[in-house]
Amino acid sequence: MSAPVPASQDDPAARSTGRRPIVVGVDPDRAHRMAPAWAADEATRRRLPLRLVHVEGVPTPGDRKEAVPPSWEGWNAALHEAGKQVLEEAAEFVTARHPHLEVDTLLAEGDPVWTLCEQSRDAASLVLGSRHLSRRQEVFGSASIALPVMARTHCPLVVVPEPEHITQDRPYYVVGVDGSERSAAAVDVAFEEAALRGAGLRALLVWEHGPLRVFDESGPQEESRRLLSEIMAGRHARYPEVELHHEVVAGHPVQVLTEASAHALGLVVGTRGRGGFAGMLLGSVSQGVLHHARCPVIAVPTRG
């Protein structure tokens, strides 16, 4: 396949993460193609290669459909052939969508969480699909690997929902800011994504009240507004084309962020940041928005 055209230094794609691939986990169900579609579009915008990864697992008694079990070697070969077919069909899907996209595939055995996290070491981003299972299924079910991957990924993790998310006419991203230096990585990714898409950016610092509202909170809230303005100003200077809105909002962080992102192109959150004031915690919020957000969620790990 032909290689992408090199990005111009004035192009937002030139500010991206280099030639590291976009890695996407491929679901064996042909009906679930939103994650590969999102990843292929992202790789094309950033002029990066795309890597399709399918983890086939190992033979188990539940895999056997014949009355008489075959040898382990035959059993494993059948799974391997099925995995190759999954990847071939996914590759056909993304190349039909973007004919000049540089694509490679990886078929692996074993633990999908370990495999995907290892792939994330050299990836620009890691993309997974989400079927929006119930809260109990998301946390305890074997069908979801987003939470354990999010806890160990080395690059931004993008969780793309099924079915397709519908956005408003004026595209925008939402980013959660918690007042700490660690949340700066999430802000950087949010600006970069907004610039690549020609979208706006809404930055929210959510103030969560404690159980007792005894003390005057006006001082810390005013300090939060000042801090938020300073965090966004320096980055906005790098991306002046991005229309920026930022505000401090009182409420539960998960509820505020998911409601704000209802029609957004994506919601960007950090995974380990802790704010400098009581009532502001972003790290635990990333798990909550995975359960409730209906748009793609980009979870950005703390660097280092």
Distance between CA atoms of residues 125 and 297, nearest Å: 12
**177 shares a domain with 295:** yes
Instruction: Tell me which of 46 and 223 has the higher pLDDT.
Output: 46
Contact present, 70 and 17 (Cβ < 8 Å): no
**148 shares a domain with 264:** no
Residues 152-180, mean pLDDT to the nearest whole number: 85
**180 shares a domain with 154:** no
**49 shares a domain with 185:** no
Average pLDDT over the chain, rounded to whole? 79
pLDDT tens digit string along 227-265?
A: 788 888 888 889 999 999 988 888 888 999 999 998 999
Task: Provide the domain limits for residue 38.
Answer: 12-161
Domain boundary residue among 136, 161, 186? Answer: 161
- Is the pLDDT at 133 greater than 50? The verdict is no
Residues 130-144, mean pLDDT to the nearest whole number: 50
Distance between CA atoms of residues 106 and 118, nearest Å: 12
Residues 40-61, mean pLDDT to the nearest whole number: 86
The verdict on residue 6 lying in a domain is no
Domain boundary residue among 99, 134, 161? Answer: 161
Q: Check residue 119 and give its pLDDT.
A: 96
Domain boundary residue among 111, 128, 161? Answer: 161
pLDDT tens digit string along 4-43?
A: 333 344 455 544 545 899 999 998 888 889 999 999 999 9
Percent of the chain with pLDDT over 90: 43
The verdict on residue 57 lying in a domain is yes
Q: Check residue 206 and give its pLDDT.
A: 84
**241 shares a domain with 157:** no
Mean pLDDT lowest for which of 64-68, 158-162, 293-297?
64-68
Domain total of the chain: 2
**74 shares a domain with 189:** no
Q: Check residue 287 and give its pLDDT.
A: 82
Q: Check residue 81 and give its pLDDT.
A: 87
- Is the pLDDT at 203 greater than 80? The verdict is yes
Residue 147 Rama label (left phi>0; alpha psi -120 to 50; beta): alpha
Give the domain CATH number at 40: 3.40.50.620
Distance between CA atoms of residues 161 and 86, nearest Å: 20
Q: Check residue 234 and give its pLDDT.
A: 80
Q: What is the DSSP string of 77-143?
A: HHHHHHHHHHHHHHHHHHHHH-TT--EEEEEE-S-HHHHHHHHHTT-SEEEEEE----HHHHHH-TT
> Where are the alpha helices (H) located in 176-217, listed in sequence order?
184-197
Looking at this protein, which amino acid is placed at residue 251? G
**177 shares a domain with 142:** no
Q: How does residue 128 score in pLDDT terms, banded at 50, 70 and 90? A: very high
Tell me if the pTM is above 0.85.
no
Residues 211-223, mean pLDDT to the nearest whole number: 59
Instruction: Tell me which of 226 and 241 has the higher pLDDT.
Output: 241
- Report which listed range, 88-92, 109-113, 208-212, 227-231, is most confident: 88-92
Residues 44-63, mean pLDDT to the nearest whole number: 81
pLDDT tens digit string along 60-105?
A: 555 555 554 556 566 667 778 888 999 999 999 999 999 999 999 9
**179 shares a domain with 44:** no
- Is the pLDDT at 49 greater than 70? The verdict is yes
Q: Check residue 223 and give its pLDDT.
A: 72
Contact present, 269 and 175 (Cβ < 8 Å): yes
Q: How does residue 125 score in pLDDT terms, banded at 50, 70 and 90? A: very high
Q: Check residue 275 and give its pLDDT.
A: 43
Distance between CA atoms of residues 50 and 19, nearest Å: 10
